Chains A and B, each alone.
Chain A
């Protein structure tokens, strides 16, 4: 076993993965803390999937090292996978197997496979007892989620779990992520959808070109994120009326003003309370904008 900080479940240290034509990971440094939900965000091709595969010992890092539960993720990957549940991004099942048969096939490689739990999860998610080839994409994804959960893993690794699925399916996945967390599991959730991640994650890591471009608490991201605010006053508002750090006037039309605000809500409300307002509409946090400021656009590496 390799020494690592007690609060870390997994750690990437200067991890590289080079393919003949591209570097998928280019010195990735990241620690996953015990009990947290860490969202791994980034555009397609940024290196999210490769980093998860390296963590599970499916792909060997070219340089650097990856450690989970104190075990090297390549040479001791069986120990890592024993404690990990994985939902691949492009889930494929054995077409002729029914859900519980698939759970039996894979679950029984785990010492802690809990067949009744697998059965109850399938029932809870209302997965039909049919061969995988006859299941809808959403139901196959539910089976994949059961496969990841059925041995009660300490670390749950989900690669773009909601991609291409309807909102109900998103909610089911996120609910099970929350339940796993309450049960003491750590979750590493890869996605390119911030709204999905921000609903459950404690922290988000933005990966770009195979390395971490930003690492932020979701709460901090929320504080940083701008809100859209629409004002209607009894008289035309002046620039002086709206002078406050974090305010950007997007559109002013006499007594109607559209602005964005990044900062403490109390300060904005205090300022607005001094104005002759007839109506105020405060919109949702624009986390996407906050994230865009963090990692910009694009990404050269593959995922």
Chain B
């Protein structure tokens, strides 16, 4: 008797369930990228006034949004400050948390988890298969938006350093992976999707606020090291010259730990409709 592969089926199940969310998010973000790229020539023509405006921003505020040391009058600096600082993470975190919150809690709330787990599935592989499917969606989101950024550059007479773009993309992917871990941890701990979504979003928002407050207020500065948003600094990654290995590895590692916790919890939890 050969048992079908649980992880592969779980992957396809998750892909089928969330494909429209992923497609919608990816398409909207790509359109946004196109808008930003299209705006660049107009910005380039107003370099002096934009530089003047930029220099008036407090350095702490720039640090808080991960664009410290960035020159927004360059293509890379403009993309980092206007797209990657806030909008890109918002989309990626939204997709990661929104979908992952439904993986276990959504099925439990709908009442289908009991039926699903009454089949001969390995619970751990079921969860991991679905998490990998979501990770793949996040990868596609990242890849698509960076392809758009990269392809847009020559269209507006600019060029991007491929290696720097890769590091910035990896930073974004690591942040998305962290968010996936948070969403997964709450989905296995909650019995309703809305509850898991609320807690996971709340935690991400709290971490974001901690990063902002820590960046602006010297006494709380140590706290920023607790948040993945401190590690997420797309400006220096894209427009600087440092290699942000830790900014990629640390959030990704924490995300993996959270996925591991979710796997452990999901395997031992009682399933009661």
B157 surroundings in chain A (CB, below 8 A): none
Sample (8) of A-B pairs whose CB atoms are under 8 Å apart: A60-B270, A78-B3, A90-B273, A93-B115, A94-B112, A105-B13, A111-B120, A112-B1
> Is A287's beta carbon under 8 Å from chain B?
no
B13 nearest CB across to chain A (Å): 7
Residues in B1-59 with C-beta less than 8 Å from chain A: 1-4, 6, 9, 13
* Contact between B119 and A81, CB atoms less than 8 A apart: yes
Interchain CB contact under 8 A, A78 and B118: no
- Residues of B95-138 whose CB lies within 8 A of A: 110-112, 114-122
- Residue from A90, A93, A109 in contact with B4 in the complex, judged by beta carbons closer than 8 Å: A109
| Complex-state Cα separation, A105 to B107, whole angstroms | 14
Q: Would A147 and B4 count as touching, CB distance under 8 A?
A: no
CB proximity of A137 to chain B, nearest CB, Å: 14
Give the number of residues in A that approach B within 8 Å (Cβ atoms). 28
10 other A-B residue contacts (CB within 8 Å) besides A58-B272, A109-B121, A110-B4:
A53-B270, A58-B117, A81-B120, A84-B118, A88-B114, A90-B111, A92-B112, A92-B114, A92-B115, A111-B3
Q: How many residues of B contact A (CB 8 A)?
A: 24
Inside 8 A of A106's CB, which chain B residues have their CB? 115-116, 119
Q: Given the complex of chains A and B, what is the CA–CA distance between A91 and B117 in angstroms? A: 13
Q: Given the complex, which residues of B lie within 8 Å of A95, measured CB to CB?
A: 110
Query: Please, how many angstroms separate the alpha-carbon atoms of A86 and B120 in the complex?
Result: 11
Cβ of A82 within 8 Å of any chain B Cβ, yes or no, is yes
Interface string of A77-116 (1 = CB under 8 A from B): 0110110101010111111000000000110111110000
A82 to B122, CA, bound (A): 11
Q: Which residues of B contact A111 (CB under 8 A)?
A: 1-4, 120
Contact partner of B118 (CB less than 8 A), chosen from A56, A60, A94, A108, is: A56
B102 to chain A, nearest CB (A): 13
Q: Are B112 and A93 in contact (CB under 8 A)?
A: yes
Known pairs A109-B6, A112-B1; A53 contacts B271 (CB<8 A): yes
What's the Cα separation between A90 and B111 when bound, in Å? 8
Tell me which residues across on chain A come within 8 A of B116, comparing CB atoms: 106
- Taken together as a complex, chains A and B put the C-alpha atoms of A60 and B269 apart, in Å, by 8
Cβ-defined contact, A59 with B272, below 8 A: yes
Closest CB of chain A to B229's CB: distance in Å? Answer: 36
Our count of residue pairs bridging A and B at CB distance below 8 angstroms stands at 74
B219 adjacent to chain A (CB < 8 Å): no
CB contacts (< 8 Å) of A59 on chain B: these are: 270-272
Contact between chains at B4 and A82 (CB < 8 Å):
no
Alpha-carbon distance between A138 and B1 when the two chains are bound, in angstroms: 34
Q: A93-B112, A94-B112, A111-B1 are in contact. Are A88 and B118 (CB under 8 A)?
A: yes
| Distance from A85 Cβ to chain B, minimum over Cβ atoms (Å) | 9
Check if A82 sits within 8 Å of B120, measured CB to CB: yes
Point out the residues of chain A lying under 8 angstroms from B114, CB to CB: 53, 58, 88, 92
For A109, what are the chain B residues with a Cβ–Cβ distance below 8 Å? 4, 6, 9, 119-121
A137, B83: Cα distance in complex, Å: 50
Q: How far is the CB of A226 from chain B (nearest CB, A)?
A: 38
| Residue from the list A57, A60, A82, A92 in contact with B3, Cβ < 8 A | A82
In the bound complex, do residue B120 and residue A92 qualify as a contact, i.e. CB atoms below 8 Å apart?
no
Assembly CA distance A86 to B113 (angstroms): 13
> In the complex the two chains form, is A108's CB within 8 Å of B9's CB?
yes
Q: List the 4 shortest-distance A-B pairs measured between CB atoms, nearest first.
A: A92-B111, A109-B119, A82-B120, A58-B271
Smallest CB separation, B118 vs chain A (Å): 4
Q: How far is the CB of B15 from chain A (nearest CB, A)?
A: 13
Q: In the complex, what residues of A have CB within 8 A of residue B13's CB?
A: 105
Q: For A58, what are the chain B residues with a Cβ–Cβ distance below 8 Å?
A: 114, 117-118, 270-272
What residue in chain B is nearest A89 (Cβ atoms)? B273
Q: Which residues does chain A contribute within 8 Å of B110, judged by CB atoms?
A: 92, 94-95
* Contact assessment for A81 and B111 in the assembled complex, using a CB-CB cutoff below 8 Å: no
